[in-house]
Structure 1
């Protein structure tokens, strides 16, 4: 009876130990994946630091948006900016003004002439337009084509 209990205990202990080893391998794999994705984000950020684009805003849908949008050193900067008042204005990076496929950056202050937004983790090469959009009213206030 004691031998059966000893063998059963040994088998269970061995199974648990081997199971833990497999979990460690899974953790190593997931850590490798995290490191790869962090490396990709760092590469995007380094690429963003090299990108320089700018464009002038034009109002749309009977709304006023003026000033310059500029991407430089991994940041989106608005210069001499002004806009019509809106309850929920945000700045987006878009491809040809398409908000649905765009990247929401942050809330924008319609009355602040100089604003800056960090683009960490955003691949700016995927976008060619900076768009001011009212999320609450679902209206584009204006856009700047980047060149």
Structure 2
């Protein structure tokens, strides 16, 4: 009788330990899966945040005997012109360009030559292809100035 109780007890203990170990492995797998998906989510959010949080800015330099002053900043999918001044022009526009090439650049909007603070929405625009903000008079076909972005 003692042998039967001992055998049953040993069997129950062994079974409990084995089932407990299986449960821990499952939990570890679930934890690993959660951790992997959390890491994936973090990586994806880093990629999304990279564009959103990326900040580039530069100071304007005048060109072609025209005057442009101030700072251009790209942050949070917005282009901000601060302390901005420009020569007077009837048809002044702001572009994102690669090395100042307006023909291959992206026109953002009309710019007010005497408004010091201006903000333009860049949502859904790929700004990574451009390294300058260029002020261009469409009517005269003249670049007034540009700011190299860093």
TM-score (norm 1): 0.68
State the secondary structure of the residue aligned to 1:125: helix
Deviation at 1:48, TM superposition (A): 3.3
Within a 5 Å distance, the mapping from 1:1-147 to structure 2 comes to: 47-147=50-150
2: CA distance, partners of 1:104 / 1:47: 23
- String of CA shifts for 1:46-81, please: whole Å, max 9, x gaps: 653122100000000000000000001110000000
Which structure has the larger Rg? 2
Q: How many residues align structurally? A: 104
Alpha-carbon distance in structure 2 between the residues aligned to 1:100 and 1:76: 20
1:130 offset after TM fit, Å? 0.1
Q: Could you list the runs of 5+ residues in structure 1 that have no partner in the other structure?
A: 1-43
Cα distance between partner residues in 2 of 1:50 and 1:108? 24
Runs of 5+ unmatched residues, structure 2: 1-46
CA RMSD of aligned residues (A): 1.4
